[in-house]
Amino acid sequence: MKRKYKNPHTDDSKRTFWEVIRWKTGRYKETVESPPLDFTYPAILPPFDPTRPSLVWMGHCTFLLEVDNLTILTDPIWSDYCSPVRIRGLKRHHDAPVLLADLPDIDIVLLSHNHYDHLDAPTVSALHRLHPQILWIVPERLSPWFKRRGIANVIEIPWWGTQENPLYKITAVPAQHFSGRTPWDLNKTHWNGYVFESKKSGKRFYFTGDTGYNPIGFKEIGQNWPYMDLSLIPIGTYVPRDFMSPVHCSPYDGVEIHQDVKSRLSVGMHWKTFCLSDEPLDRPPYDLLLALEKKNLNPETFLPLDPGTYINW
């Protein structure tokens, strides 16, 4: 029998069916209100320069990044529902701002783990059909899922393992989460974050994947690199905290990661697209601002973007 993966810094990450039922029946009840009606996040974006490294947020944890003539996608999901069946509460709240058919040629996809809101089978199949050259970077034991669908150009990377060529280096780094697409495969595949480094310019970005916070693992990531030019950090799906905190960051946790890895610019993800928790969809930017103010940090260093907004990094 194959072993199951565990988180090294918490024993409380198991999210069973019965725990979900307890949450939905009020065991973890916590009320969080929407931000004030006049709230606007206080950041002014500089003019966009298409000749410089760029990103655009497609929603949830899907980003399109371009750097040194390389084009990268993270956790791509274009489907209307983040579930194997159409459940009203798991429907998208906004469309992806770019159609799959209108994407540029994609070189690499970074895949963090196998939950339905991150590993979306229809999107994967469409991307493979449109861009058969894609290199899929995935966690341990996830490549068979791709190969069953006729996708052979897939590489598994364990924590602290690397994939390297003359153009770039990708390092898989720890995240605090769990995996499973059915009640029977809980934690049988792993979950990753990634650090991508371009060898041409030295530009570097960090994609946390889906994760909760701990005060050890992210500081360790920060010790391995002097800084991150860009970090993609979750700021949503955090209420109720007693239930969510082991595996999902609050904006306060996200700011801790931002500091732990010495990020020059961070962008919030895992919010606004799907309603997977109890906080209002528009609440994360407000809590993010409060968290930054508490640390006396400039809000322009950690942005909650609108889908479709292009920025440089």
* Amino acid 2: pLDDT: 72
With tokens 């040629």, the residue in question is: 105
The answer to whether residue 24 is domain-embedded is no
- In the sheet with 193-198, reading across from the earlier edge strand, the strands are 162-164, 168-173, 193-198, 204-207, 230-234, 266-269, 302-303
**Tokens at 186, concatenated:** 């809980």
pTM of the model: 0.97
Question: What is the spatial distance between Cα 264 and Cα 302, in angstroms, rounded to a whole number?
Answer: 9
The answer to whether residue 70 is domain-embedded is yes
Tens digit of pLDDT at every position of the chain (313 positions): 578 999 999 987 766 777 888 888 878 888 889 999 999 999 999 999 999 999 999 999 999 999 999 999 999 999 999 999 999 999 999 999 999 999 999 999 999 999 999 999 999 999 999 999 999 999 999 999 999 999 999 999 999 999 999 999 999 999 999 999 998 999 999 999 999 999 999 999 999 999 999 999 999 999 999 999 999 999 999 999 999 999 999 999 999 999 999 999 999 999 999 999 999 999 999 999 999 999 999 999 999 999 999 999 9
Domain that holds residue 239: 51-312
What CATH number is given to the structural domain containing 305? Answer: 3.60.15.10
SS3 call for 207: strand
Q: Would you give the DSSP letter of residue 88?
A: G
Question: What is the spatial distance between Cα 49 and Cα 59, in angstroms, rounded to a whole number?
Answer: 22
The answer to whether residue 4 is domain-embedded is no
Q: How many domains does the chain have?
A: 1
Per DSSP, what are the bridge partners of residue 250?
none
- In single-letter form, the type of residue at position 66 comes to E
The answer to whether residue 39 is domain-embedded is no
